Each structure stands twice: as C-alpha cells, then as structure tokens.
Amino acid sequence: MNGCVNTRPCPCTYDCPRHGRCCECVAHHRDHGEGVPGCFFSPEGEASYDRSIEALARDHGLIS
C-alpha cells in the first residue's frame, strides 16, 4: 500500500510493522478478520484487548 501517511501519533500499544500507518493497519485487520484496530479505542478500551464492534460501541458510550 503506497502513499500511506499518518499525521497523528498512533495510540495502539501493540508494536507491529504497520504501527503509525493507519490505512495499512485497517486493511490488515480487515483482511485477516482481526476485528477493530486498537487505535479506534480510548486508552482504557485499547487496554482491554477486546477488538469487537460491541467493545468499540461500549468504549464510545453508544451502548452500555
């Protein structure tokens, strides 16, 4: 994936070759069925390691 530039710091605590390259990270998670990338979560939500859509909705206060 060429031209993938991220201008914001990556909040994900997992160190991988895609760290800081949001478009590569999202594509990798999508292609491997790995759920939502950690950077979509708050620091507390990311620390739970639950990458489900339901966990993301809870983390953002959309459901309880």
Q: pLDDT at position 3, please?
A: 67
pLDDT at 1 over 60: no
Residue ranges of the alpha helices (H) in 10-52? 22-31, 43-47
Q: Provide CB contacts within 8 A for 15, sequence distance 6+.
A: none
* Model confidence pLDDT, tens digit, residues 20-60: 888 888 899 999 998 899 889 999 999 998 999 999 999 99
Three-state SS for 58?
helix
Write down the pLDDT at residue 7: 66
